[in-house]
Chains A and B, each alone.
Chain A
Amino acid sequence: MTETNLHRHSSAFSRLSGVLSDVVSRPSGAIGLFLVIFHIVLALTSPYLVPFDYKEMNASFMLSGPTSTHWLGADHLGRDVLSRTLLGGREALLVTAIATPIAVIWGGFVGILLGLVGGRIDEVLMRIVDAFLSLPWILKMLVLIVTFGTGMFVLIPTLAFFYGIPVIRIARAATHDVVARDFISAARARGHKKMTIIRRELLPNVLDTLMVEGAMRWSWMLLAFSSLSFLGFGVSPPTPDWGLMIADARGFMSFAPVGVIAPVVALSSLIIGINLTADSLAKALGIDRAQKAPV
């Protein structure tokens, strides 16, 4: 490895670790990152931790409050709430963890391209992006899900597609900001190839924005996923899922509140964790997201 290559790697690496330590040094970032990691570890290990089979019904414990066997009680079908809560985030995490990078990559790619190309194509495509954004997410998603079913192979591409569209806008704006700077003109004037300029000058500067954007998209995707489950359009029973569990247990809230509270706490802690991390990441990278609309 040559001397200069060494520098390149060390600078990228030291920057990343610098950003990470900045995130962790903020209380909100530390808490957020802890929550996210906790949930990921839980999702990976929960099948080996759960005390009961999530499908197992026990009529004698139906809607019972917390007991010594069922620490968080049982639901209306007599299934263990603790086990179902521990398992309830796996599907959501898996789907969104795959869909988020796809959304950011395709949206980012198109956005950067439009930002660079400009002109008529850009104007026309941005109108289409605007048009898509003017439809509520739930309508767009539901139409596809109702038609094609609720399997993972429908949910992942659907989420990735619709959540990539706002990324186009963000990436395009970020591209415009960077392209206006002199170091891009300098690279152009030197006569580098377009692709080299994009890869070496533009991307590293746009990636910060996309990273923060990705973290935010992840939390909104989780929100969408669990909302769909809640409405009955997400995962199909008996697979445990927090949204679905809340929907099921709502009817029995007055005498078995733990059945609602457990998945509420689980889902909220994950989403808040992601948001706190995203917020601190944005601060560490010097990006102000607060002044942007959530589209």
Chain B
Amino acid sequence: MMDKPLINIKNLSVGFRSLSGKIMPVLRNVDLSVHCGESIGLVGESGSGKSTLALAAMGYLKRGLQVIDGVVQFEDHSMFTLTRTDLEGVRGGKLALIPQNSGQSLTPTSKIGTQLSEALKLHSSLDATHHKQRVIELLTQVRLPDPEAIFERYPHELSGGQQQRAAIAMALAGEPEALLLDEPTTGLDVTTQAHILELLRELAADTGMAMVYVSHDLGAIARVCDRVMVMYAGEIVLEGTTSQVLKTPIHPYAHGLLASIPKLSDAHLPQALDGRPPVPGDAGAGCAFADRCALVSNVCRKERPVLHRTPNGEHVRCHHFTDIDKMNSTAARSAVLAQTDNLSKAFPILTLGGLSIRYQQKGLLDDLSARLFGAEKILIPTVDDIYLEIRRGETVGLVGESGSGKSTILKSLAGLLSPAAGQVLFDLGSTGQSAPVQLPSVVEARGHDHLRAIQLIFQNPDDSLNPRHTIAEILAQPLTLYFGLTGDALYERSVSILERVRLGAHYLNRLPSQLSGGEKQRVAIARAFAAEPDLILCDEVTSALDVSVQAAVLALLNELKHEKGTTYIFVSHDLAVVKALSDRVAVLYQGRMCELGPSDAVYSYPSHPYTEVLLGAVLEPDPDSAPKLVADDIVELSPPAKGCAFQRRCPRRLGTICDEMVPEWQQGAGQHMIRCHIPLKELITLQKDA
């Protein structure tokens, strides 16, 4: 017999009133119970209602939402019937929240110390004179360096990871029994994310708090949760222990979601989950997942499945969960990557020779004030010393955390940023007989052929598609510019391009705002391919998308590449995504290249210490794998003036040589290159031992 649950949500339905007056549900008949010391993960894609559910546990709904049915209980309190004063006593006290974006969730005009003291004042019996001491203790507990100084700082003076730690400290102030975490590591760099998760694990173990961890990231969930609930279109579709859900998912959606996550261990592309989830409030009478399900049958469209309890203690909302084994056999594995062997014979299409880029902009007044007040600074280039040869048909991945200069390099190749030094050679002919020519650095100086041959796809299609243009107009731009197409020819070509990215002709007269995120990115890809380019620069093209949509976009990019023999430079912060698509990978830190080589070589030892740190921090959606944290997660704002770029964070630092001298490239097996002072043989033994 289990003890009484701490958080107990029964049959909760929440909705909003649409313009026509109808109530549209965003949560439907949700049950959730969390016991003391338990850690539950809520997983789902955007719009699945997972954040709404977590906030509802605190008796809070976003503006416009209302409870349709059900009860939310925390201990003995019914959260939606409590008076405001009682609610204020519970919130932040026994039940605390760690928000998604701490940078925006900490009040910008008050100091960290003040905000933490406020929480103590509200929720602890401590005497006011001891508040400061307690705050310092809390800041130390979340392992913030120099807590005395942090106490006096404003939120904007902390890095993203530090802000998140401060938010955790604030949640701990009330000594909560249950902690709600709303995507607490989303938007953070991989190493920071891994460190924060480790901290949360330890805190949970030390204090025995219950946790509800909301995330779209199954890797993070795997690391911190005992049980997982998968949400889809406002419903719980699967509930079980973490290893049950992650290893043998018995709901088709969970199955597809897991398959769509790129993993470091995979040799193939993740498997796409076609279609898109229903718009909130738009689920029909049957199963919400029916339209995207491989096991769909008539009953699925007519009858909403109930939450079955399986013999293993799982709960699943599916008519066909017993047939889940058929999923593996029916769905074909996605195409394997291109053969690297052929590539080595191909001719280089693009050669970067010592590329260096510097951001600087000075106005009249800066000039004047610099002269008057002597504020002239020496500018260290943001990106420096990039040598890279890319062969026709090859996909080269650029990885690194924020500030690594990877997007800057792409912008410069696209001619949007003019480099400070270095040259770029580009070869238009595919035979290698034509000599590569110098690529003009600014786009305005480039000729028609160069313009057409190089296309750029941006991270966020909301920003890269003009909101005032229809899809037809968007596609017409490259087609008219490069091929002079008009009239019927233009129409036909537009339709055929749209079909290649699996959108129908009926999309032509829609505006981007009428499309989903994945569809918009397909249009952006279609626009790039419309130019029939030789080289496509992909700048974090899947970062703004949900995992299942990301897999579909990756599959599309891979398919188009095989069809057209296009060369890609693929930039991403996600190591697994880069691995899924790339033949070769370059690792960047602070605008300097650390390592370059075939993907398999880069993703195994020996590695540059920075690559080692990055790989160690990757979270796999597997409860049995643990990250290896070998360095701290300091955020550096600018590269060092001399020496190795990674000197300040390096776990394998040798000494002053790292500060003084830029290391030489060392050649390993194949084309594998590492830029480190430590000899490769030594590196490999060090890393194998660790």
| A and B directly contacting (CB within 8 A) | yes
A→B interface (CB under 8 Å): 2-4, 7-8, 10-11, 15, 119-120, 123-124, 181-183, 185-192, 200-201, 204-205
What is the CB-to-nearest-CB distance from A44 to chain B, in angstroms, rounded to a whole number?
Answer: 34
Q: Which residues of B contact A120 (CB under 8 A)?
A: 363-364
Q: Which residues of A contact B469 (CB under 8 A)?
A: 11, 200, 204
8 additional A-B pairs beyond A11-B470, A191-B481, A205-B466, beta carbons within 8 Å, are A2-B491, A3-B490, A3-B508, A123-B363, A183-B466, A185-B416, A189-B455, A200-B477
With contacts A123-B364, A183-B463 taken as known, whether A7 is within 8 angstroms of B509 at the C-beta atoms is yes
Q: Which residues of A contact B472 (CB under 8 A)?
A: 3-4, 7-8
Question: Total interface residues on B, using CB and 8 Å?
Answer: 43
Distance in angstroms between the alpha carbons of A188 and B414 in the assembled complex? 9
Q: Is B448 in the interface zone, CB < 8 Å from A?
A: yes
Q: Is B464 in the interface zone, CB < 8 Å from A?
A: yes
Closest to B509 in A: A7
Distance in angstroms between the alpha carbons of A200 and B414 in the assembled complex? 21
Query: Nearest 4 A-B pairs (CB), nearest first?
Result: A191-B451, A182-B464, A204-B468, A182-B463
Q: Is B570 in the interface zone, CB < 8 Å from A?
A: no
Q: Which residues of A contact B443 (CB under 8 A)?
A: 188-189, 191
Distance in angstroms between the alpha carbons of A294 and B238 in the assembled complex? 56
Distance in angstroms between the alpha carbons of A10 and B459 in the assembled complex? 30
Distance in angstroms between the alpha carbons of A186 and B410 in the assembled complex? 12
What is the CB-to-nearest-CB distance from B628 to chain A, in angstroms, rounded to a whole number?
Answer: 36
Partner of B466, one of A8, A15, A189, A201: A201
With contacts A182-B460, A190-B478 taken as known, whether A7 is within 8 angstroms of B473 at the C-beta atoms is yes
Q: Which residues of A contact B468 (CB under 8 A)?
A: 15, 204-205
Partner of B488, one of A3, A123, A187: A3
Q: Which residues of B contact A181 (CB under 8 A)?
A: 463-464
Distance in angstroms between the alpha carbons of A124 and B364 in the assembled complex? 9
Q: Is B486 in the interface zone, CB < 8 Å from A?
A: yes
Partner of B467, one of A119, A187, A190, A205: A205
Q: Which residues of A contact B21 (CB under 8 A)?
A: none
Partner of A192, one of B414, B481, B508: B481
- Which residues from 465 to 495 on chain B have a C-beta closer than 8 Å to any C-beta of chain A? 465-470, 472-473, 476-478, 481, 486-488, 490-491, 494
The answer to whether A190 and B481 have CB atoms under 8 Å apart is yes
Distance in angstroms between the alpha carbons of A204 and B474 in the assembled complex? 14
Q: Which residues of B contact A200 (CB under 8 A)?
A: 469, 477
The answer to whether A187 and B490 have CB atoms under 8 Å apart is no
Partner of A182, one of B458, B486, B491: B458
- Which residues from 442 to 463 on chain B have a C-beta closer than 8 Å to any C-beta of chain A? 443, 446, 448, 451-452, 454-456, 458-460, 463
Distance in angstroms between the alpha carbons of A8 and B466 in the assembled complex? 13
Distance in angstroms between the alpha carbons of A114 and B446 in the assembled complex? 25
What is the CB-to-nearest-CB distance from A96 to chain B, in angstroms, rounded to a whole number?
Answer: 29
With contacts A11-B470, A205-B467 taken as known, whether A190 is within 8 angstroms of B476 at the C-beta atoms is no
The answer to whether A2 and B470 have CB atoms under 8 Å apart is no
The answer to whether B414 and A189 have CB atoms under 8 Å apart is yes
Q: Is B501 in the interface zone, CB < 8 Å from A?
A: no
What is the CB-to-nearest-CB distance from A193 to chain B, in angstroms, rounded to a whole number?
Answer: 9
What is the CB-to-nearest-CB distance from A22 to chain B, in angstroms, rounded to a whole number?
Answer: 12
The answer to whether A4 and B481 have CB atoms under 8 Å apart is no
Contact with A along B410-433 (1 / 0, CB 8 A): 010011100000000000000000
What is the CB-to-nearest-CB distance from A120 to chain B, in angstroms, rounded to a whole number?
Answer: 6
The answer to whether A185 and B458 have CB atoms under 8 Å apart is yes
Closest to A194 in B: B444
B→A interface (CB under 8 Å): 363-365, 411, 414-416, 443, 446, 448, 451-452, 454-456, 458-460, 463-470, 472-473, 476-478, 481, 486-488, 490-491, 494, 508-509, 511, 527, 531
Q: Which residues of B contact A201 (CB under 8 A)?
A: 466
Distance in angstroms between the alpha carbons of A181 and B443 in the assembled complex? 17
Q: Which residues of A contact B481 (CB under 8 A)?
A: 190-192
What is the CB-to-nearest-CB distance from B238 to chain A, in angstroms, rounded to a whole number?
Answer: 37
Q: Which residues of B contact A204 (CB under 8 A)?
A: 466, 468-469
Q: Which residues of A contact B487 (CB under 8 A)?
A: 2-3
Distance in angstroms between the alpha carbons of A188 and B415 in the assembled complex? 9
Distance in angstroms between the alpha carbons of A15 and B514 in the assembled complex? 13
Distance in angstroms between the alpha carbons of A2 and B454 in the assembled complex? 29
Distance in angstroms between the alpha carbons of A200 and B491 in the assembled complex? 19
CB pairs A–B below 8 angstroms (30 shown): A2-B491, A3-B472, A3-B490, A3-B491, A3-B508, A4-B490, A7-B509, A10-B509, A123-B364, A124-B364, A181-B463, A181-B464, A182-B459, A182-B463, A182-B464, A183-B465, A185-B458, A185-B464, A186-B456, A187-B477, A188-B443, A189-B454, A189-B456, A190-B481, A190-B531, A191-B451, A191-B452, A204-B469, A205-B467, A205-B468
Distance in angstroms between the alpha carbons of A186 and B460 in the assembled complex? 12
Distance in angstroms between the alpha carbons of A15 and B454 in the assembled complex? 34
The answer to whether B446 and A183 have CB atoms under 8 Å apart is no
Distance in angstroms between the alpha carbons of A118 and B343 in the assembled complex? 45
With contacts A10-B509, A123-B364, A183-B463 taken as known, whether A189 is within 8 angstroms of B416 at the C-beta atoms is yes
Distance in angstroms between the alpha carbons of A85 and B469 in the assembled complex? 47
What is the CB-to-nearest-CB distance from B458 to chain A, in angstroms, rounded to a whole number?
Answer: 5
Distance in angstroms between the alpha carbons of A3 and B255 in the assembled complex? 43
Partner of B464, one of A123, A183, A192: A183
What is the CB-to-nearest-CB distance from A229 to chain B, in angstroms, rounded to a whole number?
Answer: 40
Most chain B beta-carbon neighbours within 10 Å: one of A119, A189, A192, A204:
A189
Q: Which residues of A contact B494 (CB under 8 A)?
A: 4
Distance in angstroms between the alpha carbons of A242 and B378 in the assembled complex? 64
Distance in angstroms between the alpha carbons of A32 and B458 in the assembled complex? 42
Most chain B beta-carbon neighbours within 10 Å: one of A4, A120, A188, A201:
A4
Q: Which residues of A contact B363 (CB under 8 A)?
A: 119-120, 123
The answer to whether A7 and B490 have CB atoms under 8 Å apart is no
Distance in angstroms between the alpha carbons of A183 and B455 in the assembled complex? 13
Closest to A187 in B: B477
What is the CB-to-nearest-CB distance from A275 to chain B, in angstroms, rounded to a whole number?
Answer: 26
Distance in angstroms between the alpha carbons of A53 and B473 in the assembled complex? 57
What is the CB-to-nearest-CB distance from B330 to chain A, in angstroms, rounded to a whole number?
Answer: 39
Q: Which residues of B contact A182 (CB under 8 A)?
A: 458-460, 463-464
Distance in angstroms between the alpha carbons of A53 and B466 in the assembled complex? 56
Closest to A208 in B: B468
Distance in angstroms between the alpha carbons of A190 and B481 in the assembled complex? 8
The answer to whether B476 and A4 have CB atoms under 8 Å apart is yes
What is the CB-to-nearest-CB distance from A260 to chain B, in angstroms, rounded to a whole number?
Answer: 45
Distance in angstroms between the alpha carbons of A292 and B41 in the assembled complex? 44
The answer to whether B451 and A190 have CB atoms under 8 Å apart is yes
Q: Which residues of A contact B478 (CB under 8 A)?
A: 190
Distance in angstroms between the alpha carbons of A11 and B472 in the assembled complex? 11
Distance in angstroms between the alpha carbons of A187 and B480 in the assembled complex? 13
Distance in angstroms between the alpha carbons of A38 and B459 in the assembled complex? 49
Distance in angstroms between the alpha carbons of A119 and B454 in the assembled complex? 29
Q: Which residues of B contact A7 (CB under 8 A)?
A: 470, 472-473, 508-509
Distance in angstroms between the alpha carbons of A185 and B415 in the assembled complex? 10
What is the CB-to-nearest-CB distance from A203 to chain B, in angstroms, rounded to a whole number?
Answer: 9
Distance in angstroms between the alpha carbons of A4 and B477 in the assembled complex? 11
Distance in angstroms between the alpha carbons of A183 and B476 in the assembled complex? 14
What is the CB-to-nearest-CB distance from A41 to chain B, in angstroms, rounded to a whole number?
Answer: 32
The answer to whether A186 and B458 have CB atoms under 8 Å apart is yes
Distance in angstroms between the alpha carbons of A140 and B414 in the assembled complex? 48
Distance in angstroms between the alpha carbons of A186 and B523 in the assembled complex? 13
Most chain B beta-carbon neighbours within 10 Å: one of A3, A8, A10, A204:
A3
Closest to A10 in B: B509
The answer to whether A186 and B464 have CB atoms under 8 Å apart is yes
Q: Which residues of B contact A188 (CB under 8 A)?
A: 415-416, 443
Distance in angstroms between the alpha carbons of A187 and B508 in the assembled complex? 19
The answer to whether B365 and A8 have CB atoms under 8 Å apart is no
